[in-house]
Chain A
Amino acid sequence: MIWLDTLVQGILLGGLYALFAAGLSLVFGIMRLVNLAHGDMIVFAAFAILLITQTLGLHPFLAALIAAPVMFALGWALQRFVLNRVLGKDILPPLLVTFGLSVALQNGLLQGFSADSQRLAAGPLESASVDLGLVTVGWMPLLTFATAIAVIVGLNQIFYRTALGRAFRATSDDPVTASLMGIAPKGVFALATGLAMVVVTIAALYLGMRSNFDPSIGPARLIYAFEAVIIGGLGSLWGTLAGGVIIGVAQTFGAAINPEWQILAGHLAFLVVLLLRPRGLFPRAVD
């Protein structure tokens, strides 16, 4: 029974990793940009939510509602004024710019908020749990997983049901032809990064309510997100959820054997998948 419990906890933890990964996957899928500052942006958003809860005395959920449009604007501006300038055939400039941003963000947060661990106080929700017969699960992990599914359904709806989604897909397939059809790829990219930052805010909300965070934890979140994306296969959001679940399950089982092995087990699961299925479990995109 303890193993079933571990399995369920792992699956639910995978929801959090899928939330980390969805924004990364979105940006890569549309403009082939690997954002090395993605993890630090999640931590940045968590601090933004923290700041709002502290100054306005709001619950984290309400604070995230305020933070989301701000993050959208920041993401839009970042893409419009910085990243669009370096996108091109050469993969080096965008990688190095986002790496510079990652280090700058980390140290900016360190300067502003110190290295102390922080947490978003969610009230009674933090410890509430529900008995599902065989296992008991916390409301918070359950809510995280449900949110991950909602985010993926929402993003898929945008992609396949709206004009904006059509523009996203067209630009992703062929920016030159898309621009002949009256789409401005750079504007589409800016909107995509803005949207990714909204997803980042949602990921930050659950990161902050479920565990402690400090300015240094961004890179580890980037790595989990990246592993989930690669395991799932590029271009498939449901695959990304599966990837998150695989890492989550590997981590909880690793931790059940020896607490020191939690993180290691997740990485090893990733390497095994990379060994057996180099293009991931559900590959869609050709590149």
Chain B
Amino acid sequence: MRVTTSTRTGRIAGLSALALVALALALPAFASRAVIQDLFTILTLLTLAQLWNLLAGYGGLVSVGQQAFVGLGAYAMFAGVILMGLDPILAIPLGGLAALALSIPTAFFAFRLQGAYFAIGTWVVAEVTRLLIAQWKTLGGGTGTSLPREATSDILGVEPIRVLFGLREAAARDVLAYWLALALAVLTIAAIYALLRNRLGLALAAVRDNTEAAKSVGIDTTRIKWAVFLIAAFVTGLTGALIYVQTARISPDAAFSVTNWTAYVIFIVVIGGIGRLEGPILGVIVFYALQQALADYGAWYLLTLGLIAVVVMLFAPRGLWGLLSDRTGLHLFPVRRRLERIDLEGGK
């Protein structure tokens, strides 16, 4: 016998995912600029949603302050470009590092708050970060600033894309941002999937299902929560920096927006299905469809989204994917350990 998480559906899903990624890579050759821009938004939201799902769905850490890491990541990238003269693409890692640096004191403070109060604690830290950044006059203070023209006109990698697809420079920049968003989303999903299948993932699942029981078999729950929180902050910071490379204009209110970077993300995860890798993927599709359908109705859109999230929590707490999975037994990303019989050679 041996322990495995592999299933036939999982292998088929894996191969389909590879084909889908290949298709997505080739997409800029024939898709319009508007499609590429929409996909950029979807992919970055998907990455943020997967990270929040890792925090809340697996780590039990309901953070309402992830906008702190998006905003700080974006501002660190801007600082790298404006103050240090870096290429915007090379400044993206600064976003991750800055977010990681912020996540340490954040965890220190927020982990002191028990249970549900953790959520508001992270929110306070995000507010403090926003107010402090708004005091940074070199980066535009409260009104914000734009990436300088000389920095955006000559971004690393844009020229070959321009030549390859015969695009104008602005469109080539969108293609570059799209590819980076695709890479980030795929790597994030792959990394979380790998994480869930190794020892840390097993420990996470144990902590999620029963903290006391997990402690009793020797799992250091505090260390696991720290690890998950720091990893999520780092990648959230990278995502924030990437988003603002594409936007090229920043202000504290936009970069630290609780609606854009946390509310949307929470709704995507809740509607799609919390605690499943498939959930955010399905959630982001539903989210985008709703956005297109209700685009002309202003505040009704968020009102509807909020109420849908409430209804889903009441009647299908594991989201749309949970409903689907319960009916069909489908797991595209199997993480459940099963025992499998091995036929030994000459074993008869």
Residues of A whose CB lies within 8 Å of any CB of B are: 32-34, 36, 82, 85-86, 91-97, 99-108, 110-111, 219-220, 222-223, 226-227, 230, 260, 263-264, 267-268, 270-271, 274-275, 278, 287
Interface pick from B118-126, B177-185, B227-235, B329-337: B118-126
CA distance in complex: A276, B100 (Å): 24
Residues of B within 8 A of A102 (CB): 306
For A36, A100, A219, which residue has the most chain B Cβ atoms within 10 angstroms? A100
Is B259 located at the chain interface by the 8 A CB criterion?
Answer: yes
Tell me how far the C-beta of B318 lies from the nearest C-beta in chain A, rounded to whole angstroms: 11
Across the interface, do A103 and B263 meet the contact criterion of CB distance under 8 Å? yes
Across the interface, do A223 and B299 meet the contact criterion of CB distance under 8 Å? no
Given contacts A93-B313, A99-B64, contact A274 B307 (CB under 8 A): no
Residues of B within 8 A of A107 (CB): 299-303, 306
CA distance in complex: A227, B252 (Å): 22
Residues of B whose CB lies within 8 Å of any CB of A are: 56, 60, 62, 64, 109, 112-117, 119-121, 123-124, 127-128, 131-132, 134-135, 142, 258-259, 263, 266-267, 270, 274, 298-303, 305-310, 313-314, 317
Across the interface, do A103 and B305 meet the contact criterion of CB distance under 8 Å? yes
Tell me how far the C-beta of A33 lies from the nearest C-beta in chain B, rounded to whole angstroms: 8
Find B314's partner among A85, A270, A274 (CB 8 Å cutoff).
A85
Tell me how far the C-beta of A235 lies from the nearest C-beta in chain B, rounded to whole angstroms: 13
Across the interface, do A111 and B131 meet the contact criterion of CB distance under 8 Å? no
CA distance in complex: A93, B117 (Å): 14
CA distance in complex: A111, B298 (Å): 8
Residues of A within 8 A of B121 (CB): 274
Residues of A within 8 A of B305 (CB): 103
Given contacts A92-B62, A97-B313, A107-B299, contact A36 B119 (CB under 8 A): yes
Across the interface, do A92 and B314 meet the contact criterion of CB distance under 8 Å? no
Find B310's partner among A82, A220, A264 (CB 8 Å cutoff).
A82
Across the interface, do A36 and B313 meet the contact criterion of CB distance under 8 Å? no
Across the interface, do A100 and B62 meet the contact criterion of CB distance under 8 Å? no
CA distance in complex: A8, B122 (Å): 31
Residues of B within 8 A of A260 (CB): 134-135, 142
Interface majority SS (helix, strand, loop, mixed), chain B: helix
Residues of B within 8 A of A274 (CB): 109, 112-113, 121
Interface majority SS (helix, strand, loop, mixed), chain A: helix
Across the interface, do B116 and A82 meet the contact criterion of CB distance under 8 Å? no
Given contacts A268-B128, A287-B114, contact A95 B306 (CB under 8 A): no
Residues of B within 8 A of A99 (CB): 64, 263, 266, 309
Across the interface, do B313 and A100 meet the contact criterion of CB distance under 8 Å? yes
Find B116's partner among A95, A104, A227 (CB 8 Å cutoff).
A95
Find B119's partner among A95, A263, A267 (CB 8 Å cutoff).
A95
Tell me how far the C-beta of A222 lies from the nearest C-beta in chain B, rounded to whole angstroms: 7
Across the interface, do A104 and B306 meet the contact criterion of CB distance under 8 Å? yes
Tell me how far the C-beta of A171 lies from the nearest C-beta in chain B, rounded to whole angstroms: 18
Across the interface, do A108 and B303 meet the contact criterion of CB distance under 8 Å? yes
Residues of B within 8 A of A230 (CB): 113, 117
Q: Which residue of A lies closest to B258 (CB)?
A: A219
A-B pairs with the 8 shortest C-beta distances?
Answer: A104-B306, A34-B116, A100-B309, A103-B306, A107-B299, A107-B303, A100-B310, A107-B302
Given contacts A82-B314, A92-B60, A267-B128, contact A223 B306 (CB under 8 A): no
Q: Which residue of A lies closest to B56 (CB)?
A: A92
Q: Which residue of B lies closest to A92 (CB)?
A: B62
CA distance in complex: A96, B270 (Å): 8
CA distance in complex: A108, B307 (Å): 11
Across the interface, do B117 and A226 meet the contact criterion of CB distance under 8 Å? yes
Across the interface, do A94 and B300 meet the contact criterion of CB distance under 8 Å? no
Find A97's partner among B135, B300, B310 (CB 8 Å cutoff).
B310
With A92-B56, A96-B274 already in contact, 18 other A-B pairs whose C-beta atoms are closer than 8 Å: A34-B115, A36-B119, A36-B120, A82-B310, A91-B116, A92-B274, A95-B119, A96-B309, A99-B263, A100-B308, A107-B302, A110-B298, A223-B120, A226-B117, A226-B120, A230-B117, A270-B124, A274-B113
Residues of A within 8 A of B132 (CB): 264
CA distance in complex: A275, B111 (Å): 11
Given contacts A91-B62, A92-B274, contact A108 B299 (CB under 8 A): yes
Across the interface, do A111 and B303 meet the contact criterion of CB distance under 8 Å? yes
Residues of A within 8 A of B299 (CB): 107-108, 110-111
CA distance in complex: A226, B266 (Å): 21
Across the interface, do A264 and B128 meet the contact criterion of CB distance under 8 Å? yes
Find B127's partner among A32, A85, A267, A278 (CB 8 Å cutoff).
A267
Tell me how far the C-beta of A254 lies from the nearest C-beta in chain B, rounded to whole angstroms: 10
Q: Can you give 22 A-B contacts (C-beta < 8 A)?
A: A32-B115, A33-B116, A85-B314, A91-B60, A91-B115, A94-B116, A96-B62, A96-B270, A99-B263, A99-B266, A100-B267, A100-B308, A103-B303, A104-B303, A107-B303, A111-B299, A219-B258, A223-B124, A230-B113, A260-B134, A274-B112, A275-B109
Find B259's partner among A34, A103, A270, A275 (CB 8 Å cutoff).
A103
CA distance in complex: A222, B123 (Å): 10
Residues of A within 8 A of B303 (CB): 103-104, 107-108, 111
Residues of A within 8 A of B117 (CB): 34, 226, 230
Q: Which residue of B lies closest to A260 (CB)?
A: B135
Tell me how far the C-beta of A21 lies from the nearest C-beta in chain B, rounded to whole angstroms: 12
Across the interface, do B120 and A222 meet the contact criterion of CB distance under 8 Å? yes
Find A86's partner among B270, B301, B313 (CB 8 Å cutoff).
B313
CA distance in complex: A108, B298 (Å): 11
For A33, A106, A222, which residue has the most chain B Cβ atoms within 10 angstroms? A106
Tell me how far the C-beta of B258 lies from the nearest C-beta in chain A, rounded to whole angstroms: 7
